Amino acid sequence: MTEEKELLTILSEAEYKKLNKLLRSRLGQPKKQNRLSLQSDNYSQVSIDTRIRITNGKAELMQKVGNWKKITKGQTRTEISAPLPDNAETVLAFYQIIRNLVQGQSVENIMMQYESYLWGNEKFEIKLTHQFGKSDAYNCEVEVFDYSLKPQNLAKEYNIPIHLPMKKKDFWRKWNKKVNLSIDSLSDQKLLNIIKKYL
């Protein structure tokens, strides 16, 4: 179990491309990360976020605890993670269990797909992300591991534009409808095939 202290900013495609060049020139070659996230989000419950995540071929069951609005303020949330077997059928079964547990009128079952570039050290990490599915979107996360640092100050130091997600209740629902695929629209076989691509 770890704590996160991070800042999330939404970028335009032009800002993403410009920042990618700038960070490469100042911090060198980044690590590349490909990720699939299978989520059942309950928008009436802002303090718990549970999902299946596959990152560079490694699957895990993951939960974040703490108000999601903290990511707009550079505050902390707790992250709990447990590895899963790198088997597509097992990953699908775990996701189906999550989906069955998370019920209600405010629930959306969504698939998030990312290509990210990461720069950092033992004190901080900057993650520049291209998100895709229905359409393309871009963002940047500044996370600090040394809590004497402030994500906002690092963003300023590296000329990262700060456009915080809107605080309106339906911001992320609109985001998901525009950017991400709805798992409800996919058959189990199609979902399984996508999972296999990331393992």
Mean pLDDT comparison of 12-21, 47-56, 71-80, 158-167, highest-scoring range: 12-21
Q: What is the pTM of this model?
A: 0.86
Q: Give the tens place of pLDDT for each residue, 113-122.
A: 999 999 999 9
Look at residue 10 and tell me whether its pLDDT is greater than 90: yes
pLDDT, the chain, mean? 90
Q: Domains (ranges, CATH) in the chain?
A: 2-198 (2.40.320.10)
The CB-based long-range contact list for 162-171 (8 Å cut-off, 24+ gap) reads 162/7, 162/9, 163/9, 163/10, 163/11, 164/8, 164/9, 164/10, 164/72, 165/8, 165/10, 165/71, 165/72, 167/69, 167/72, 169/43, 170/43
Average pLDDT estimate for 132-156: 94
